[in-house]
Amino acid sequence: MKLQTPIVSTDWLQEHLAEPSLRIYDVTLYVEYKGDTGDSFGGYNLDSETPRKEWEQSHIPGSGFIDINGELFDSNSSIPFMMPRPEAFAMAISAHGVADDTAVVLFSKGCQMWATRVWWMLRSIGFDNVAVLNGGWEKWQREGRPTDNTEPNYPTGKLSVSPRPEMWVDRDKMLEVIEIGGPTMVNALPTEVYTGELNRYGRPGHLPGSYNVSYDSVINPDTGEFLNPDELRPLFTESGALRANKVIAYCGGGISATMDCMAMSLCGQDNVSVYDGSMNEWVLDDSLPLKLGVEP
């Protein structure tokens, strides 16, 4: 089975539930923000046990659960949510059944950012046959589609690795862009965090020169689905990101940035990188610049 688009509808998924090569995963992680604590990383708690228990009770038939915080992020990094070595990531996710000959559909509850993050991670190791369920669990449940509580028996997969390092950038690259110019930068955080009105990461503001396209602005608030391309394009007009030769997206921890990456992909812009460390890393060095206000 070859997936044709980076998102699939609930109709499509229900029609293909019996496809033997299909792998479906709930990758939900709950984040509880403790507010403006002034601490590094904004002071938040991560919870993967609650969504796992919810998945055990009821889930899309055939879907497995992956603890992305415990299994897919770099446990050796002091920065949360970092991409591990491609080989380590491939080993971790293939243990859940992802293989070269499978098609993968990801979904998450509450916000699709966790699904888009794993979509991005898989593509960055060369696995392209992956999509996100448009509207996520909430849309599936709202439409009264089938559920069960049976754990799938996916065999361990054999997954090749062909890394695309250009899909990630580091702190030094971001500083270079600020100092001498370069790719267009897009910040996916809520507007009040971008402007510095809300200090979520210990130091308020945004990287100078970066434009704000909040991750929640790319979603229809009523259905949880991504806006269509005609609705998405105006959101990126000010930055010129859809016409740019190269774009770098960032946020707090490289998660919600992938929502903007998905939105740009739906508009045909795929020459995009993610600053993996994002604000979690940037705020740790007081010498690195941040700008307050609505201007890039």
Q: Is 17 in the same domain as 127?
A: yes
| E strand or H helix that includes residue 3 | none
41-71: b or e for each residue (b if 16 or more CB lie within 10 Å)? bbbbeeebeebeebbeeebbbbbbbbbbbeb
pLDDT digits (tens, 9 = 90+) for 219-271: 999 999 999 999 999 999 999 999 999 999 999 999 999 999 999 999 999 99
Which pLDDT value is given to residue 33? Answer: 74
Q: Count up the domains in the chain and report the number.
A: 2
pLDDT digits (tens, 9 = 90+) for 103-123: 999 999 999 999 999 999 999
Choose one of 119, 136, 163: the last residue of a domain: 163
> Is residue 53 situated within a structural domain?
yes
Residue 37 predicted with pLDDT over 80: no
Q: Is 121 in the same domain as 179?
A: no
Q: Is 53 in the same domain as 140?
A: yes
Tokens of 134: 């448009």
> Of residues 36 and 47, which shows the higher confidence score?
47
State the residue for tokens 């991560």. Answer: 46
At 35, is the pLDDT very low, low, confident or very high (cuts 50, 70, 90)? low
Which pLDDT value is given to residue 22? Answer: 98
Residue 24 predicted with pLDDT over 80: yes
Choose one of 163, 197, 212: the last residue of a domain: 163
Q: Is 121 in the same domain as 241?
A: no
Q: Is 154 in the same domain as 195?
A: no
pLDDT digits (tens, 9 = 90+) for 42-51: 466 889 999 9
> Is residue 291 situated within a structural domain?
no
Q: How many CA atoms lie within 13 A of 220 on its CB side?
A: 15
> Is residue 89 situated within a structural domain?
yes
Residue 40 predicted with pLDDT over 60: no
Q: Is 56 in the same domain as 97?
A: yes
Measure the CA–CA gap between 290 and 195, rounded to whole angstroms: 10
pTM: 0.96
Pairing outcome for strands 44-47 and 30-33:
antiparallel
Choose one of 140, 163, 186: the last residue of a domain: 163
In which domain, by residue range, is 257 found? 166-282
Indicate which CATH number applies to the domain containing 181.
Answer: 3.40.250.10
